[in-house]
Amino acid sequence: MTLFELEQTLPNGFHDAHIQSFSVNYVTREATITLDVLVGVPDGKTEFEREAYRTCLLKLTGVEYFVIDPPDPTYAYAKPGTLWIDAGPLESAKLNSKVKLPSLQSKNSFAYLFFVQDWNSSLYVAATDASLEWQSEPFMPND
């Protein structure tokens, strides 16, 4: 499954998600991203139904690249906390990358970006498969 296909299974995709951590294993060509995903729906009757998040582990296999743009120096990028993101397929994005991204090497690969609002820059990934494992029940975020 691609990240775009996986995103379609979530009520809000990766919109307003928050990355807690990520790791990349270049030997096995795998990456994991722990993030809090907005699972609330706009027409929910209660605040919980509208604003709930759920922690998940996003697994990428067949990783071709995992590129991190440097943060915009005018942003408070060193502040501790999760990274507030939006995301989407690389093909539909207006690229402002500070690095030249390589072409995909496998016809089965997909490219995707996570725009980090807190940094005004992006993370770029290319892989052959994506899966998601829920790590928590829905919860209300701490403000």
Within the chain, strands assigned E span 17-25, 30-38, 53-61, 65-68, 83-89, 110-116, 121-127, 129-134
- What is the Cα–Cα distance from 39 to 53, expressed in whole angstroms? 5
pLDDT of the residue at 142: 80
Tell me if 74 is assigned to some domain: yes
Q: Would 141 be classed as within a structural domain?
A: no
pLDDT of residue 93: 54
- The number of folded domains in the chain is 1
For residues 50 and 29, what is the distance between their CA atoms, to the nearest angstrom?
Answer: 36
In contact, 37 and 15? CB cutoff 8 Å? no
pLDDT for residue 98: 62
pTM score > 0.85 for this model? yes
- pLDDT confidence of residue 64: 97
Residue 27 to residues 37, 56, 59, 62, 130, Cα–Cα distance (Å): 28, 23, 15, 11, 18
* 30 located within any domain: yes
pLDDT of residue 95: 58
Instruction: Please list the pLDDT of the chain residue by residue as tens digits (143 residues).
Output: 999 999 999 999 999 999 999 999 999 999 999 999 999 999 999 999 999 999 999 999 999 999 998 999 999 999 999 999 999 877 655 555 566 788 899 999 999 999 999 999 889 999 999 999 999 999 998 85
pLDDT at residue 88 in the model: 83
Does residue 71 lie within any of the structural domains? yes
List the domain range (segments joined by +) for residue 89: 3-134
- Asked whether residue 84 is assigned to any structural domain, the reply reads yes
